[in-house]
Amino acid sequence: MTDKNKQSASGGENKEEGLTEVLTEETKFYYPSAAMKENATVKDWDEAIHVAESDPEAFWAEAAEDLEWAEKWKKVLDDSKKPFYKWFVGSKCNIFQNALERHQKTAVKDKIAIISEQEGGRIQKLTYSELYQEVNKFAAALKKLGITKGDRVAVYLPNIPETAITMLACAKLGAIHSVVYAGFSYLALRDRINDAGAKLLVTANASQRRGKIVNLKKTCDKAVEEDCLSIEYMIVVKNVDQETIMKEGRDLWFKNITQNEKENVETEIVDGNDPLFVLYTSGTTSKPKGVVHDHAGYMVGVNRTFKWVFDLKEDDVYWCTADPGWITGHSYIIYGPLMAGITNIMYEGVPDYPENDRIWEMIERHKITILYTAPTLVRLMMKYGDEPPKKHNLATLRLLGSVGEPINPEAWRWFYRVIGQEKCPIMDTWWQTETGMFMITPLPVAALKAGSATRPFPSIKASIVDKKGQRVPVGKGGFLAINNPWPAMLNTLWRNPERYLETYWEKIPNVYTTGDMGFVDKDGYFWIQGRADDVMNISGHRIGTAEIESALVSHEAVVEAGVIGKPHPIKGESAKGFVILKKGFEPSDELIDALKKHIRNTLGPIAIVDEVEFVDKLPKTRSGKIMRRVLKAKELGLPLGDISTLED
């Protein structure tokens, strides 16, 4: 870094008079270029925050004017039943109108909406008008199969255009999609289908990953074989050329039911507060939570945050390396980019296959301007060194983004220097499945600090509090809380409003509890440090320790298990299980392998446990709860903390 960046943490003028601070790298500011500032939609970050803060409802009402409505709202925010907040009450709309329909009236219709690339190299391009037609066809087909407003449709698909088509077709009909990441096991899929009561499942016969063919259809067959009575039809995309067994009467090829479809299906105009989707996410129990988002608030929140944070221009080619199976994919692969009318990349494969420069090669090939990725991927690429990116022309990049976990300053600086070539600001976006949209994030004109998500998005009030909800002083660690409602907030948990209240609103009084820890520095910048609860973040994927424990104890050899997350140089965190064996079972390396495999089979390849240790006892409270905190402190050689509740 050059010396001109070595300014004080208060932005150049040192407020602590007379002090010549020796600043650590992390307190340095990184300033946007003059060109970035000149062309930005929002030119003054402080002012944008100030204006929105003075009247958040006016701010969001103005943001809503960017979109089309069948009928406008009567009230921007209804808090009479809080914390069941309602945004844009009385409105009639459909996110599909904004994602595709309205573009058909403008020049956007001839633009490329999606460039999809398969690991094997196949590239497909769909314009906005082609995508619109495909969605119409699939919506008509779904309608003929009996799907109507309010029905749930489960989706188990890789990152391919049909995923976008399916989600949008559901939205168009007013049906509720429940996308399950296609790395989950059949059991995890079955639980989610059952909880949502899905009538129909959309999948692909197979997917390509690291040169291997993953048979998704087989997983779906196993999931619905028994105990999954709600599923009437399974629709299968032929994504890979290979033989597929179809069950008569239940299974239908995607192509067969869409290709000759001519019916023109009307878009279902829904109440703005009607659900758009359910998306399951891990919590502190073994049962995942079905996070519910509606049409109106979600579309306004996602649209405004996407356009401002990535400062979108008409000719942007944008690549988010997440999967549609996560919220990042819902908000910022499918809905955000389509509403914005830009060109979007969907890549089905891994970023370092067949060579470790695949990701950089793709940026050059498609002339990508915005890359939105995760710290775990940045660290993996960093491990491969500077050579792979240097082989490629990355000059088209103008903006970078990070999401999923805290980005460590070292990875941030590498990303900034080697990939962004010191001209691309990095938008470190903090948010959650539940928030639906970016919450703590810079705008491109912000002064950045390596490793900080900076400040809340305009209108959002966030704070670091103690258990009682009192703000803690600057620099002190505490719980990250959100103090006011925002439009894309979750409406509730699927068929479980009690758990919604208990999880997010009753743990700490008067605020939305995020479950994260962090602190605020003297410039008001937030530093997120990770989860406060028993949820791990492995490679940016959220997974509950309780889920892995329950998978472990379902193995015949296991009596009891405690699982913790440990720091990991690439994945951020890795899981370790402590296991008490049943009588008659002996510790062995084979058993360790068998347990790891069992977890993988139960939860899917995303739930990888790196280490298993056999123990005689687990630290417990007197009420019998495993104290994972104690396990973790012991494992990491840290002080044990308060162990007064420890039974033994």
Residue 212 CB, nearest approach to ligand WT7 (Å): 26
> For strand 426-428 and strand 399-402, is the pairing parallel, antiparallel, or unpaired?
parallel
Q: Does 192 bind ligand WT7 (CB under 6 A)?
A: no
Q: Are 216 and 206 in contact (CB under 8 A)?
A: yes
Listing DSSP states for 283-298 in one string gives -SSSSPEEEEEESHHH
Residue 11 CB, nearest approach to ligand WT7 (Å): 22
Q: Per residue in 227-259, is it b (16+ CB within 10 Å) or e — as a string?
A: ebebbebbbbbbbbeeebeeeeeebbebeebbe
Nearest by Cα to 347 from 198, 163, 205, 202 = 163
For residue 48, what are its two tokens? 């944008």
Return d(Cα 426, Cα 411) in angstroms, integer: 11
Among 64, 234, 278, 327, binds ligand WT7 (CB under 6 A): 327
**C-alpha radius of gyration, the chain, whole number:** 24
**Which among 74-82, 324-332, 559-567, 622-630 is the span making contact with ligand WT7, rule CB under 6 A?**
324-332
Q: Which residues pair with 284 in a beta bridge?
A: none
Q: Does 503 bind ligand WT7 (CB under 6 A)?
A: no
Q: Does 609 bind ligand WT7 (CB under 6 A)?
A: no
Residue 448 CB, nearest approach to ligand WT7 (Å): 13
Closer residue to ligand WT7, CB minimum distance, 273 or 331: 331
Closer residue to ligand WT7, CB minimum distance, 135 or 427: 427
Among 7, 514, 539, 574, binds ligand WT7 (CB under 6 A): 514
Nearest by Cα to 628 from 552, 568, 517, 545 = 545
Q: Of residues 253-282, which lie at the interface with ligand WT7 (CB under 6 A)?
A: 281
**122 burial via Cβ count (<10 Å: 0-12, 13-18, 19+):** exposed
Q: Of residues 396-455, which lie at the interface with ligand WT7 (CB under 6 A)?
A: 402-406, 428-433, 453
Residue 390 CB, nearest approach to ligand WT7 (Å): 27
Among 91, 136, 328, 463, binds ligand WT7 (CB under 6 A): 328
Q: Of residues 279-298, which lie at the interface with ligand WT7 (CB under 6 A)?
A: 281
The pattern of x and - marking residues 458 through 497 that bind ligand WT7 according to CB under 6 A reads: ----------------------------------------
Among 231, 380, 481, 528, binds ligand WT7 (CB under 6 A): 528
Closer residue to ligand WT7, CB minimum distance, 272 or 451: 451
The pattern of x and - marking residues 141 through 180 that bind ligand WT7 according to CB under 6 A reads: ----------------------------------------
Return d(Cα 159, Cα 163) in angstroms, integer: 7
Residue 375 CB, nearest approach to ligand WT7 (Å): 8
Closer residue to ligand WT7, CB minimum distance, 141 or 403: 403
Residue 569 CB, nearest approach to ligand WT7 (Å): 17
Residue 214 CB, nearest approach to ligand WT7 (Å): 22
Strand ranges of the sheet holding 558-568, from the earlier edge strand across to the other edge: 558-568, 572-581, 609-614
Helices 545-553, 589-603: crossing angle, 10 deg rounding: 120
**10 burial via Cβ count (<10 Å: 0-12, 13-18, 19+):** middle
Q: Does 537 bind ligand WT7 (CB under 6 A)?
A: yes
Closer residue to ligand WT7, CB minimum distance, 52 or 440: 440
Residue 515 CB, nearest approach to ligand WT7 (Å): 6
Q: Does 516 bind ligand WT7 (CB under 6 A)?
A: yes
Residue 436 CB, nearest approach to ligand WT7 (Å): 9
3-state per-residue secondary structure call for 560-608: EEEEEEEEECCCEEEEEEEEEECCCCCCCHHHHHHHHHHHHHHHCCCCC
Return d(Cα 569, Cα 447) in angstroms, integer: 27
Closer residue to ligand WT7, CB minimum distance, 189 or 291: 291
Q: Does 219 bind ligand WT7 (CB under 6 A)?
A: no
| Sequence-ordered alpha helix ranges (H) in 284-420 | 296-309, 327-329, 336-340, 358-366, 375-384, 387-390, 409-414
Length of the chain: 648
Q: Are 142 and 200 in contact (CB under 8 A)?
A: yes
622: left (phi over 0), alpha (psi -120 to 50) or beta: alpha
Total residues contacting ligand WT7 by CB under 6 A comes to 23
**Which among 344-352, 512-520, 552-560, 562-570 is the span making contact with ligand WT7, rule CB under 6 A?**
512-520
**Which among 61-69, 100-108, 310-318, 511-519 is the span making contact with ligand WT7, rule CB under 6 A?**
511-519
Among 86, 366, 455, 531, binds ligand WT7 (CB under 6 A): 531
Closer residue to ligand WT7, CB minimum distance, 7 or 429: 429
Q: Are 498 and 289 in contact (CB under 8 A)?
A: no
Closer residue to ligand WT7, CB minimum distance, 544 or 619: 544
Among 152, 398, 542, 632, binds ligand WT7 (CB under 6 A): 542
Residue 319 has, within 13 A of its CA and on its CB side, a CA count of: 26
**Residue 360: CB atoms within 10 Å:** 24
H-helix or E-strand spanning residue 612: strand 609-614
The pattern of x and - marking residues 353 through 392 that bind ligand WT7 according to CB under 6 A reads: ----------------------------------------
Phi, psi of 292 (to 5 degrees): -105, 130
Q: Does 515 bind ligand WT7 (CB under 6 A)?
A: yes
Nearest by Cα to 292 from 306, 305, 281 = 281
**Which among 120-128, 320-328, 470-478, 593-601 is the span making contact with ligand WT7, rule CB under 6 A?**
320-328
Q: Which residues bind ligand WT7 (CB under 6 A)?
A: 281, 326-328, 402-406, 428-433, 453, 514-516, 528, 531, 537, 542
